[in-house]
């Protein structure tokens, strides 16, 4: 199959980085959780950028061993000190209220309140992020400095929240290609004001979908904007009969911090996506890390559970739990920068290019090297600066295009970037030297 070249797909990475950061800033103030209006309004914002199908799954719905929880919403939450002033205020930061806190309106001494207060003594200015999805509880998160300043006395605690038989909401964006073979891109969108963990993946997935929406594609691309864990479990339970279409997948999370790109392989370990990402990271320059699958992390845990074992890996910069700002108020708009989002975006598009353009071709002139000069393939091609590399790439493509080696095989063996080999293959096919392209 001939595939239109994907080099230069989408807008430039630097511009995409700026625009992703702006979208992140727009989504940052929203109080999201695994259900509720914050999640819905986040999808509303994304729908201005991509075609989004929004699904509502009623509370109580069974999904394998799990049950869709009640829907949680919060309108206000605060702690009033002995003098009547708000000493902890949800309106100042949505991290102050523990996610899924049950409603409470009570007075109590500081000694009793302390059991419900969460701080990070090692980072005394930061507010931690805490949740209690599956146990009825309430709590407040605050900086250690705030806690240390609280005088003894009676406090008034109010959490104006609701836990109702509502729904779990998730968004799905399908960018159709020529075939039903699917590439799954999934991100969690269930955290409140946290940037790297949550919003960086959300805006990257959104801008990848935007870039691909205008391209001529071989695969169809399915983007999921879901609450972590329960969202992927619910999606898998509703799509069990169709998941064999998934030929590759990436979970995107923590893709906007200054750290190096890190790829966690799928459970299979040698799936095409594992090879494609490893190749892209190895050849694009700069530090990177590749780790083996482990049953801990983001939604790859569900996609790679043994009953599915989908070829889905996880792309991060610094993985969850390995940066100090993780699950704290310091994972903010200063921590995630446009240039890091841009770098992650560029890497993802290179991976897409491998998935789209890989194929096994046949050299039509296999007995000794064909004479490239008389076909205009020797010397400068279109004034490219990488002419020497391109000629080397042509020799590799010609030698190993014996019907038994794919372009990605050749890329791995030669150490040349896949994109260069794909360009070479296109030039060779245009000159009649390569069949099957």
Residues of the shown chain interacting with Zn ion in the complex, contacts defined by CB under 5 A: 197
Helix (H, G, I), strand (E, B) or coil at 278: helix
* Nearest distance, CB of residue 221 and Zn ion, angstroms: 24
Question: How many C-beta atoms lie closer than 10 Å to residue 152's C-beta?
Answer: 9
If the CB atoms of residues 197 and 299 are measured against Zn ion, the closer one turns out to be 197
267: left (phi over 0), alpha (psi -120 to 50) or beta: alpha
Q: Give the shortest CB-192-to-Zn ion separation in angstroms.
A: 10
Contact (Cβ atoms closer than 8 angstroms) between residue 300 and residue 184:
no
Q: Minimum CB separation from Zn ion for residue 344, in Å? A: 17
Asked if residue 259 lies in contact with residue 286, where contact means CB atoms within 8 angstroms, the answer is no
Residue nearest to Zn ion (CB): 197
The smaller minimum CB distance to Zn ion, of residues 37 and 197, is found at 197
Rounded to the nearest 5°, which phi and psi values hold at 287? -70, 155
Element (H, E) at 221: strand 220-226
Match 């494609």 to its residue by tokens.
276
Q: How far is the CB of 26 from Zn ion (least distance, A)?
A: 20
Nearer CB in complex with Zn ion: 131/401:
131
Write the DSSP symbol of residue 93.
Answer: -
Q: Burial level of 331, CB count in 10 A (0-12/13-18/19+)?
A: buried
365's tokens = 């002139």
Q: How far is the CB of 370 from Zn ion (least distance, A)?
A: 55
Nearest to Zn ion of 275, 301 (CB atom): 301
- Give the nearer residue to Zn ion in terms of CB position, either 228 or 417: 228
Comparing CB distances to Zn ion, the nearer of 187 and 281 is 187
Min. distance of Cβ 226 from Zn ion in angstroms? 13
Residues 248, 358 contacting (CB under 8 angstroms)? no
Cα separations in angstroms, 203 against 21, 175, 197, 270: 8, 16, 11, 28
Q: How far is the CB of 289 from Zn ion (least distance, A)?
A: 20
């Amino acid at each position: 199959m001939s595939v239109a070249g994907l080099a230069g797909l989408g807008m430039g990475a630097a511009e995409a980085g700026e625009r992703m950061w702006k979208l992140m800033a727009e989504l940052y103030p929203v109080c999201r959780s695994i259900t509720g209006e914050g999640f819905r309004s986040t999808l509303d914002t994304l729908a201005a950028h991509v075609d989004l199908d929004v699904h509502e799954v009623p509370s109580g719905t069974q999904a394998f061993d799990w049950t869709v929880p009640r829907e949680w919403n919060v309108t206000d939450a605060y702690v009033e000190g002995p003098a009547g002033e708000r000493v902890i205020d949800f309106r100042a930061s949505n991290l102050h209220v523990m996610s899924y806190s049950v409603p409470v309106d009570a007075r109590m001494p500081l000694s009793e309140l302390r059991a419900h207060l969460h701080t990070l003594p090692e980072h005394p200015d930061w507010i931690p992020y805490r949740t209690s999805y599956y146990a009825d509880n309430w709590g407040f998160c605050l900086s250690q400095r705030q806690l240390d300043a609280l005088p003894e006395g009676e406090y008034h605690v109010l959490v104006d929240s609701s836990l109702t038989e509502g729904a779990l909401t998730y968004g799905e964006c399908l960018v159709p290609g020529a075939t039903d073979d699917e590439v799954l891109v999934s991100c969690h969108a269930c955290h409140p004001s946290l940037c790297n963990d949550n919003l960086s993946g959300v805006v990257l997935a959104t801008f990848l979908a935007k870039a691909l929406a205008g391209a001529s594609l071989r695969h169809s691309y399915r983007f999921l904007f879901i609450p972590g864990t329960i969202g992927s479990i619910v999606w898998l339970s509703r799509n069990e009969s169709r998941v064999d279409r998934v030929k590759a997948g990436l979970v995107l999370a923590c893709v906007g911090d200054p750290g190096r790109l890190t790829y966690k392989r799928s459970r299979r370990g040698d799936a095409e996506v594992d090879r494609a990402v490893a190749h892209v990271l190895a050849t694009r320059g700069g530090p990177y890390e590749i780790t083996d699958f482990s049953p801990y992390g983001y939604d790859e845990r569900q996609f790679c559970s043994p009953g599915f074992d989908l070829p889905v890996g996880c792309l991060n910069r610094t993985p969850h739990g390995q940066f100090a700002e993780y699950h704290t108020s310091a994972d903010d708009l200063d921590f995630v920068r446009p240039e890091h989002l841009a770098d992650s975006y560029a890497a993802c598009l290179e991976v897409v290019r491998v998935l789209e353009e890989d194929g096994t071709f046949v050299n039509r002139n296999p007995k000794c090297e064909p004479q490239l000069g008389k076909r205009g393939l020797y010397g400068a091609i279109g004034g490219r600066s990488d002419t020497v590399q391109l000629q080397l790439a042509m020799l590799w493509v010609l030698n190993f295009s014996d019907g038994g080696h794919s372009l990605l095989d050749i890329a791995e063996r030669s150490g040349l970037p896949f994109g260069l080999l794909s360009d070479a293959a296109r030039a060779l096919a245009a000159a009649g030297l390569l069949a099957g392209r």
